[in-house]
Amino acid sequence: MDDLTRWRTFLAVHQSRSISGAARALGLAQPSASAQISALEAALGQPLFERHARGVVPTAYADELAGRLAAPFAAVGSALVDTLGPVLGGAAHPLLRLGGPAELLAEVAAPALAPLVRDGVQLQITPGLTDDLLDALRDGRLDLVIATSRPKGRSLRAEPLADEELVLVGPAGGSLTEVRSPADLAGTALIAYAADVPLLRRFWRHAFAVRLEVAPSLTVPDLRAVRAAVVAGAGVSVLPRYLAQRDLVEGRLLDLHPSDDPPISTTYLVTRGDPPAATRCAAAALRAATRTWG
């Protein structure tokens, strides 16, 4: 218990399902992160992860530990953001230009970064699609991007932020109450946030093992608007669970394909080179805000 670094590494591995991915996110060498996990397992007397070629799978004991530790570590992250505010360095009012999906910026980023704004950071938020935002980051028009896919090439630095569990949702009170295969959706409108339907395609591939062949009936580049359209009965869609959860609990949406193995969409924090203090503080706050998604 005297080495919190090991527990931080454990939470990062649990969230990313990858020791190498966690190492990149924490700025560690992969052997160092692996050694920290092995030391924890030795101290606890039982394994925390099952190693596989493409990553790791947490044990039930690891899931229990992560559930108990996530909230305290998130609180520590928020406290550190508050503490670091006065030493953000550079100009008296450092500028931070953040881009990302509109709904994630509104629902998560803006509240999470409020302490930085109170401490004098000038925050400029730009919503948009990942490819456009990454171009703006490369051109120097943005400082930090929340991306829905890992950028290609070596000009940008990316680290996993969070795994979003995807859920197929329909309106409560509609004719559909369960979807076992795409055939059950014949004649039902699909709603997407982009013409290339990335969340729908990912869900179809993972849940149904088939390629999505139907074009969306409604496309709107904001998942909050997609959610509102589904609630209103326009059709069905795929949403991140964090965005759908309240409506699911309060009975406005139905989970049409519940599963113990839901598809996952990973979001990334992307910067250029060695980011300044304001960007590092913002990244820490965003990681704390999404810590419980995994």
pLDDT tens for each residue of 200-213: 999 999 999 999 98
Q: Where are the beta strands (DSSP E) in 38-156?
A: 49-52, 55-58, 95-100, 122-127, 144-147
The pLDDT score that the predictor gives to residue 132 is 93
Quote the domain boundaries for residue 215.
Answer: 163-265
More confident of the two residues 27 and 287: 287
More confident of the two residues 273 and 87: 273
pLDDT class of 3 with cuts at 50, 70, 90: low
Residues 150 and 269 sit within 8 Å (Cβ to Cβ):
no
107 and 133 share one domain: yes
The pLDDT score that the predictor gives to residue 274 is 75
Residue 93 pLDDT greater than 80, yes or no: no
78 and 132 share one domain: no
User: Which amino acid, 213?
Assistant: E
70 and 54 share one domain: yes
111-118 average pLDDT score: 89
202 and 259 share one domain: yes
Residue 81 pLDDT greater than 60, yes or no: no
185 and 206 share one domain: yes
95 and 233 share one domain: no
Whole-prediction pTM value? 0.64
147 and 285 share one domain: yes
pLDDT class of 2 with cuts at 50, 70, 90: very low
Domain boundary among 83, 107, 139: 83
12 and 78 share one domain: yes
CATH number of the domain enclosing 16: 1.10.10.10
Residue 17 pLDDT greater than 90, yes or no: no
175 and 257 share one domain: yes
252 and 169 share one domain: yes
CA distances from 147 to 14, 23, 79, 169, 202 (A): 20, 19, 25, 23, 16
Angle at 292 between CA 114 and CA 6, to 5 degrees: 100
Q: Phi-psi bin for 286: left (phi > 0), alpha (psi -120 to 50), beta?
A: alpha
- If one counts every other C-beta atom within 10 angstroms of the C-beta of residue 71, the result is 11
Whole-number average pLDDT of the chain = 86
CATH number of the domain enclosing 112: 3.40.190.10
pLDDT class of 251 with cuts at 50, 70, 90: very high
